[in-house]
Structure 1
Amino acid sequence: MVWNLPNTLTATRIALIPFFIGSAYLPDRWGLILSALFFSLAAITDWADGYVARRSGLLTDFGRFFDPVADKLLVISAIVLLLSLDRAPLTLVLIILAREITIMALRERMAGLGLKVPVSGLAKWKTGFQMTAIIMLLVQDGLFDVPFQWPGLFFLGVAAVFSLWSGYAYLVTAWPAIQPKR
């Protein structure tokens, strides 16, 4: 396996998870601000690793497998953290969790059939709203006393809608391939 910059960014995203979670439990609002900064850095690596890999032709089997795993670990950790801090409603968290787990399983099944599931435009929008919502809900009202709670909840709601919509679109597209052969 060739180790390259995109793979390093993916591994960094996974390594940042304990830091953004641990920071959230530091006393004072600065812990949550630090947590949001660690999460933001991890979110940037999500965009950067794919961009660099595609632009430079540095696609690897490691990246194909671990990039989506790193994404799921980051998002699941973040929304569970928000739930534990009482900053995200259970319903939205469950919708996002269900979609993430279902699509990860679908991708595994499709890979087992030798088929790929390309990332859809809907899923990219979902990710953008989700990442923005998580950052807003982490800082909530701790950044220059600007209230981010309501916009954060709105963006999380939009992310949940895009989660359902993109998840449905993936399932409809994959359905013929995953049906049992008769």
Structure 2
Amino acid sequence: MKRYERFRREVLNLPNMITIGRLFLIPPVLLWMDIADPFLCVMSSLVFMLAAVLDIIDGWLARRSGLVTVFGKFVDPLADKMMVAAVLVYLAADGRMPAWLVAVLLTREFYINGLRSLASSEGMVIAASAGGKAKTAFQMVGICFLLVHYRYRMPGFDEMIDFHRMGLIMLSLSVILSVLSAVEYTFHFREALAQHKQGD
């Protein structure tokens, strides 16, 4: 009974259930990325935005309820990266964005994850930089715009908004921020490692 209670608290708590639920939102987003159907494009973007909002909610709930667990720390970033990577690859395959943009963004993620793993193995924690957070914001908005794809007249605007073009601009900015934040993170890692070795 105690083992079940420990398992339920570690894995089956509400924040983790929300995180796991986000994984089930990936198939609808990919399925509705139909460039020939404007309605499905909007639906795909809305589901992607829902996943992004749930990402904020599950983290807030975990901290507020004192339910930050090892499982949650593993699954939460995994769900983020699975969603973003899957959508970026599908967007490139659908011709909505250049493949090199996807390559740069995913390579950056692998590189940062590698540094974080090294830092963790040395007992170091390096906080996310402002550049990294800005990169994520531009990336999420850019993906949402690319998923919408079509031109629409929005309230308060006289001209039609080209969501595809705006999405590409946002993702291009996120690529620049990705590279800059990766360089920044590398310097922070080097400084933290030097301090760590001095402390030893």
2:70 aligns with 61
- What does 1:101-180 align with in structure 2 at a 5 Å threshold? 101-141=110-150, 146-175=161-190, 177=193
- 2:33 pairs with 1:24: yes
Q: Give RMSD over aligned pairs.
A: 2.1
Larger Rg over CA atoms: 2
Paired letter, 2:77: P
Q: Do the aligned residues in 2 keep the contact of 1:20 with 1:39 (CA within 8 Å)?
A: yes
Partners of 1:18 and 1:135 lie apart in 2 by: 16
Q: Do the aligned residues in 2 keep the contact of 1:33 with 1:138 (CA within 8 Å)?
A: yes
Q: Please, which of 22, 35, 38 is the counterpart of residue 47 of structure 2?
A: 38
Q: Do the aligned residues in 1 keep the contact of 2:32 with 2:44 (CA within 8 Å)?
A: yes
Partners of 2:22 and 2:131 lie apart in 1 by: 22
Q: Any idea what the Cα deviations from partners look like across 1:45-99, whole Å, max 9, x if unmatched?
A: 1222222222332211111111111111111111111111111122221211111
Paired letter, 2:185: Y
Partners of 2:64 and 2:128 lie apart in 1 by: 17
How many residues end up aligned between the 2 structures? Answer: 179
Partners of 1:168 and 1:71 lie apart in 2 by: 22
Paired letter, 1:168: V
Q: Any idea what the Cα deviations from partners look like across 1:131-178, whole Å, max 9, x if unmatched?
A: 100000011116567421221111101111111111111111113539
Aligned residue for 2:179, secondary structure, equals helix
Q: Name the TM-score, length of structure 1 as normaliser.
A: 0.88
User: Identity over the aligned pairs, expressed in percent?
Assistant: 37
Gaps of 5+ in 1: none
Partners of 2:36 and 2:166 lie apart in 1 by: 24
Q: Do the aligned residues in 2 keep the contact of 1:29 with 1:142 (CA within 8 Å)?
A: no
Aligned residue for 2:32, secondary structure, equals helix
- What does 1:81-120 align with in structure 2 at a 5 Å threshold? 81-120=90-129
Measured after TM superposition, the shift of residue 26 of structure 1 is 8.1
Partners of 1:72 and 1:160 lie apart in 2 by: 16
Gaps of 5+ in 2: 1-6, 154-159
Partners of 1:92 and 1:64 lie apart in 2 by: 28
Q: Do the aligned residues in 1 keep the contact of 2:150 with 2:163 (CA within 8 Å)?
A: yes
Q: Name the TM-score, length of structure 2 as normaliser.
A: 0.81
Aligned residue for 1:115, secondary structure, equals coil
